Amino acid sequence: MQKKRTGSLIASFVIVAVFLGGVWQRQVVFDWFRLRNYTPSAEIIALGDRTTMSNNTRRLFYVYHPELNDKATFNDHCTGGEQTIVLGCYIHNRGIYIYNVTDVRLNGILEVTAAHETLHATYDRLSSSERQRIDGFLNQAFAGIKDERILKTIESYRKNGADIVNELHSILGTEVRNLSPELENYYKQYFNDRSKIVAYSEQYEQAFTERKTKVEDYDKQLANLKQQAEANQSSLNIQVNALNTEKQQLDRLLAQKQYDAYNQAVPDYNIKIKDYNALVNQTKALITQYNFLVEARNALALEENQLYKAIDSRPNTLQIQ
């Protein structure tokens, strides 16, 4: 019985070894076939350089014939749904496609996207045991994430039914600066200096966050100025009614030739007129400042919209004739 069990166990190991060997051989043949006549463009080579891809990672990157696509071509390859902005996609055994964002204010976005999609390819090739090990580290890391943008991104993936851990594998590796020693050591096999990729991510995200923060600051200033101007206007309305009543009284005194009473009342009236005019001028200055800030705020909001438009890979809608 013991010999029989041992023989069965050995046979099982042989079957597994043959299966794994077959998978590995298929990958080798696939990679060779994909690379044999492939010459990467200068732009693709530069992406590999700037993301500090290791030799093996760069090789895998090239296996998938990465492309920088315009909007139309990109949407032929990648679909993200009408409500989702997609910057790149990895399609198993087919290719890596990157939306070619050309706005210089978003420099770094191509590098992060290239690294992100390549990490999908590396994750695809992990053995089941290695994937299980790495998944544990990824879930631990995600539990400590406080960045609202990343949390919202993952939640969006979750709602769309994506493989969350697979996405974490790419997002944490390219966008989170401080990871556990286990993950840092793991990612070293793919990138010689992962911090450079994270710096690219921080760089282009800053283009959005700076403008968003400034717009919010302008909105607070505008709300305060509006409140002051409206309070002044309310006070001016009360004052002008009181001054009109007082002017009518002065006119009656003149008409009745009560010159002494008139002369006694005029100085106080003139002081009130000065105060009124000063408040008018102050209110005009507030309105001028308000209008100036509105222009500055709208210009910044326009820039923010331009940045979002620059990364919006979704197909343009057509007008019904």
The token duo for 144 is 């400590």
Q: Are 160 and 233 part of one and the same domain?
A: no
Q: Are 177 and 272 part of one and the same domain?
A: no
Q: Which of 182, 204, 226 is the last residue of a domain?
A: 204
Our count of domains for the chain comes to 2
Q: What is the pLDDT of residues 224-276, one digit of tens each?
A: 999 999 999 999 999 999 999 999 999 999 999 999 999 999 999 999 999 99
Q: Are 195 and 218 part of one and the same domain?
A: no
Q: Are 197 and 234 part of one and the same domain?
A: no
Q: What is the pLDDT of residue 4?
A: 39
Q: Are 129 and 228 part of one and the same domain?
A: no
Q: Are 174 and 238 part of one and the same domain?
A: no
Question: Please, is 232 exposed, middle or buried when counting C-beta atoms within 10 Å of its C-beta (0-12, 13-18, 19+)?
Answer: middle
Concatenated DSSP letters for 211-225? HHHHHHHHHHHHHHH
Q: Which of 180, 204, 228 is the last residue of a domain?
A: 204
- pTM reported for the whole predicted model: 0.80
Which residue in the block uniquely carries the two structure tokens 């556990």? 180
Mean pLDDT of 174-189: 98
What residue numbers bound the domain in which 238 lies? 206-311
6 belongs to a structural domain: no
Confidence band for 160, pLDDT divided at 50, 70 and 90: confident
d(CA 267, CA 273): 10
7 belongs to a structural domain: no
Q: Among residues 10, 66, 3, 9, which one has the least CA distance to residue 34? A: 66
